[in-house]
A = this chain, B = another copy of it.
Amino acid sequence: MIWIAVDAMGGDTAPGLVVDGALAAARHLDLGVVLVGPVSRLEAQVERHAIGIEASKVRFVEAGAVIDMVESPSAALRRKPNASIKVAADLVARGEAAALFSAGHTGATVMAAHGSFGMIAGVDRPALAATIPTKGGPAILLDVGASVECRPAHLLQFAVMGSVYARVALGMDEPRVGLLSIGEEATKGNDLTREAHRLLTGGTAVNFIGNIEARDVYSGDADVIVCDGFTGNVALKISEGLVETIESLLREELSSTITMRVGSLLTQRAMRHFKRRVDYSEYGGAPLLGVAGITIVGHGRSSAKAVRNAVAMAYRFASGQFIQRVEREIAVVAVPHQ
């Protein structure tokens, strides 16, 4: 059986919804979950949901500390060697679980995974890959915050890893890779994107279709969009904020008159449908690509459904030999360190 190590204390909704979601995944798929945290508290949480889950699919591992959202990750990991995220990562490193899931502090998860697994040979920096909705279906945006300073070669590595991910997770045959920049021409952009454009054009490792302007990210022209972690985080987070603002302004517009209120009910239904298409919980989490162990990062406000889908993603990655596939493909583009 494939075991998934779950940081049961990570995130705003832990341990309640994290445990619920993990058990839901174990119930429906051929996987077991290792719940990492204060065991007595986690056992109590599991007992409440005992119906329908085989005891043989749940294990517990003790971890007494939790890393808080506001802590500096490096200092916190040093100070708390028994933090749930660290204990969970070490289980994977020792082969006692096949993959790691956490909805806790993203920076701490990146550092713990990097510390416990190391990097895949040929990859210099990790990348967090978000799934975003477009007019043409889901696309992958990476990096959205794991590697804030990037060199051009890192973006080439992100392109290879993102392509493997799109094939494994979204079932795409030959994902179209775009480089996020501020003009379509190869000469547009900043120093980083101009040089990355040259590297991506020069190789054959990915199906590179050129620069993608931010305006076209949601058009569905590219399946995989690469950028440095600062730019990707800004692009993702400004989109989240804008959707919320549009929703609240629309609600305001639609409640201002009686006639509008009729429209409001119907629009709320439409907006719900729409939000389902853009809902992160459908995908559950963002894989941290590049570290030599399967790591899925959940949203800090993960619902039980999001956790279930993220654990299912970890399972698909493990059974699909994701790390080995990235290793094989990255070997084609990897150049020795200078």
- The chain A residues found within 8 Å of chain B, CB to CB, are 72, 134-135, 145, 148-149, 180, 182, 187, 189-191, 193, 213-219, 229-231, 233-246, 248-250, 253-254, 259-260, 262-267, 269-271, 273-274, 277
Copies in the complex: 2
Contact A274 B262 (CB under 8 A): no
Q: Are B230 and A245 in contact (CB under 8 A)?
A: no
Chain B min CB distance to A216 (Å)? 6
Chain B minimum-CB-distance residue to A231: B234
Query: Please, could you name 9 A-B residue pairs with CB atoms under 8 Å apart, sorted by A?
Result: A182-B229, A182-B234, A217-B241, A238-B239, A254-B266, A254-B270, A262-B262, A262-B266, A263-B265
Interface of A is mostly: helix
**How near does chain B come to A139, taking the closest CB pair, in angstroms?**
12
- Which residues of B have CB within 8 Å of A264? 266
Q: Are B189 and A148 in contact (CB under 8 A)?
A: yes
- Check A148–B254 contact: CB distance below 8 A: no
Closest to A213 in B: B237
- Chain B proximity of A208: nearest CB distance (Å): 19
Cα–Cα, bound, A249→B273 (Å): 10
Contact B266 A259 (CB under 8 A): yes
- Inter-chain pairs besides A250-B267, A263-B267, A263-B270, 5 sampled, C-beta below 8 Å: A149-B190, A218-B241, A239-B242, A264-B266, A266-B267
Q: Given the known A-B contacts A182-B233, A234-B182, are A273 and B246 also in contact in the complex, defined by CB atoms under 8 Å?
A: no
Q: Chain B residues with Cβ under 8 A from A219's Cβ?
A: 241, 245
Indicate if the CB atoms of B215 and A238 lie closer than 8 Å.
Answer: yes
Instruction: Find A274's partner among B231, B253, B260, B271 (CB 8 Å cutoff).
Output: B253
| B190–A230 touching, CB < 8 Å | yes
Shortest beta-carbon distance from A114 to chain B in Å: 18
Minimum distance in angstroms from A266 CB to a CB of chain B: 3
Residues of B within 8 A of A245 (CB): 134-135, 218-219
